[in-house]
Structure 1
Amino acid sequence: MSQRPILQRRLPFDATPRPLPGVAPLDPADWLIADEAFAQQMALRDRLIAGRRDAVLRLDPAARPAAEELLDTVLAHLDGRPGYRIGAEEVTRPDGVTLPIDRADPMATVGRLAQEDFCVMEKRGDEHVLTAAVLCFPASWSLEEKFLRPLVRIHAPIAAYDGDIARRVQRLFDGVRAGRPLWRFNLLTYEDPALFQPRRESDPRAPVPAGAGYLRSERQCLLRLPSTGAVVFSIHTFVLARPASEQEREVGKPLT
């Protein structure tokens, strides 16, 4: 899907690295955010949900109550936010687009309301499993491959995700409390600024050459839905062009 890069100018948070898993408390009022790329990102989300539905949407029938609760939670959160008009049957976004509230298709509706992607994780047995998602902006992973997989299996290709980290993350998902969300972020260097970059585990991303021109960061939030108990993992994606001076300083460094 060729397009001009959709870029933000800055990260709205302190990007000083933290030890894994790197979580911190989040003010519930700050869960979903709209930035200067809102209109462009939302237009792309609309196109992907309409034209690439199989690649960006998944819903296990057993997860429908959680998906419906997520939709209600997002609508309540956005009600009264600048630029939003929330009605009984439709929503007008800050970019002026009006869309129906389709309760028969909750994940698609949620995916068109905000810049964030949403993954619903439900406890099945001893682990949380990905049971529903709208993932328009994957950073080198595939929703098809991760759907209905537990946390450890989802993170299988990540070298830093060892047994100790896996146990800590599972305890984190077990411990997140309703009304007390958490957040973390990552920082990735990319040559390609495209937001939609699905990739299967058998086709790993090649090492990024020094001087690559884009910084990609995900602001990831964990929120417990009080009625179903599902954990929502939301992802707000930022892509920034790195200053030429910063790129030049990296020329000659080892590939990372």
Structure 2
Amino acid sequence: MKPTYTPYDGSSTPFTIGLAQLDPDRWIEPDADLGDQLAEKERILARYGDLVLRAEDDTLAAQQEVLETLADYLPTQHAGIWRRNGDRMEMAGREIDLADENMTPLCRAGLLVQDDLVIMRRGENGWRIAAAFLAFPSSWRLSEKFGLPMDEVHAHVPGFEGGSRNAGLINRMFDNLSPDRFVVRWNWSVNWSHALYHPNAKSPEEKRGVPAEKALIRVERQTLRKLPRSGDILFTIRIYLDPLSVILAQPNATELASSMANQLEALTIEQTAYKGLSEKRAELLNVLRKAPLEAAPAR
């Protein structure tokens, strides 16, 4: 087993915007977990309803644009995984009726891919969350952020508060994003249970009794693209959960562990608290600093 992405290797810095150009052919990246994660999305949607799926009334056209974009892209770029026959899309042993009016277009779109889908819309106060299918949240709740502009969405993120340089940069970058330009960024955090639906990562109960060796590194692959018809921005979030033990078993474990430890040590008190690591950072650092040395072959 090998991690798909390792942004903690120094290629991405926590609490920075860090956008990079993305090849449009690599916009959506499925893997062997597609079927299981689509089933998990259905289960979460059935259980939590509008806590994970909601939309402003006037976003139906944008939702349909997202659905049509994915319905065209997926069988073209990944013909061996997604197969379209009229209004039916088959993938990973599952089938979605693309014209099923019992579901919103965004719901149908979200059940096609492992990624969560968020539609951002420009308003007087900047870009806001206007519609979202967020089955796999990382320490936040759609019910608390829905409809809010980016300044308020990031109000509690150190360095991204309203009026900060980063807050202004986000709105300007969204304004300047063109439909033919795709961008990507990565984020990572530490989880203590193997749960894709994870709105409460900062809960101390979750960490209690879990040794640092059992931590999971939660990597988010986030992409942004502007929708040409609506002018809205589609924000996708794909989650990867990698046990720390797997990372420390890689051939370059020493470099990965050292870089991860360096990034953890560089966090401010406020950033550490935001990441929910105040109680566990020292323990994690101890594991990261010694594990590669223990795994190294004797000379």
In the alignment, structure 1 residue 174 sits paired with structure 2 residue 167:
no
Shift of 1:246: 4.2
Looking at structure 1, the residues matched to 2 and 111 of structure 2 have their Cα atoms a distance apart, in angstroms, of 23
In the alignment, structure 1 residue 22 sits paired with structure 2 residue 51:
no
Shift of 1:101: 1.0
In the alignment, structure 1 residue 46 sits paired with structure 2 residue 48:
no
In the alignment, structure 1 residue 100 sits paired with structure 2 residue 97:
yes
Contact 1:190–1:212 (CA under 8 A) maintained in structure 2? no
| Rg larger for | 2
Looking at structure 1, the residues matched to 40 and 17 of structure 2 have their Cα atoms a distance apart, in angstroms, of 30
Secondary structure, aligned partner of 2:282 = coil
Q: What amino acid maps onto 1:114 in structure 2?
A: V
Secondary structure, aligned partner of 2:187 = strand
> For 1:41-76, what per-residue CA distance to the aligned partner results, in whole angstroms no more than 9, with x for missing partners?
111012122332222101111111111111111111
In the alignment, structure 1 residue 139 sits paired with structure 2 residue 166:
no
Looking at structure 1, the residues matched to 184 and 122 of structure 2 have their Cα atoms a distance apart, in angstroms, of 20
CA RMSD of aligned residues (A): 2.6
Secondary structure, aligned partner of 1:186 = strand
If each structure's helix is expressed as a fraction of its own residues, which one has the higher value? 2
Structure 1: which 5+ runs fail to align? Answer: 1-7
Change (3 A) 1:238 1:128: same
Q: How many residues align?
A: 244
Contact 2:110–2:133 (CA under 8 A) maintained in structure 1? yes
Contact 1:177–1:224 (CA under 8 A) maintained in structure 2? yes
Contact 2:5–2:219 (CA under 8 A) maintained in structure 1? no
Larger deviation, residues 40-49 vs 102-111: 102-111
Q: Which residue of 2 aligns with 1:84?
A: 82
Q: Which residue of 2 aligns with 1:225?
A: 227
Contact 2:120–2:130 (CA under 8 A) maintained in structure 1? yes
In the alignment, structure 1 residue 189 sits paired with structure 2 residue 190:
yes
Shift of 1:244: 7.2
Looking at structure 1, the residues matched to 246 and 87 of structure 2 have their Cα atoms a distance apart, in angstroms, of 47
Q: Which residue of 1 aligns with 2:4?
A: 11
Q: Percent identity?
A: 27
Shift of 1:18: 3.0
Structure 2: which 5+ runs fail to align? Answer: 250-256, 262-279, 286-299
Change (3 A) 1:205 1:160: farther
Shift of 1:212: 4.9
Shift of 1:128: 0.4
Change (3 A) 1:158 1:43: same
> For 1:7-34, what per-residue CA distance to the aligned partner results, in whole angstroms no more than 9, with x for missing partners?
x741246653435100000011111110
Contact 2:35–2:94 (CA under 8 A) maintained in structure 1? no
Larger deviation, residues 231-240 vs 159-168: 159-168
Change (3 A) 1:189 1:89: same
Shift of 1:170: 1.1
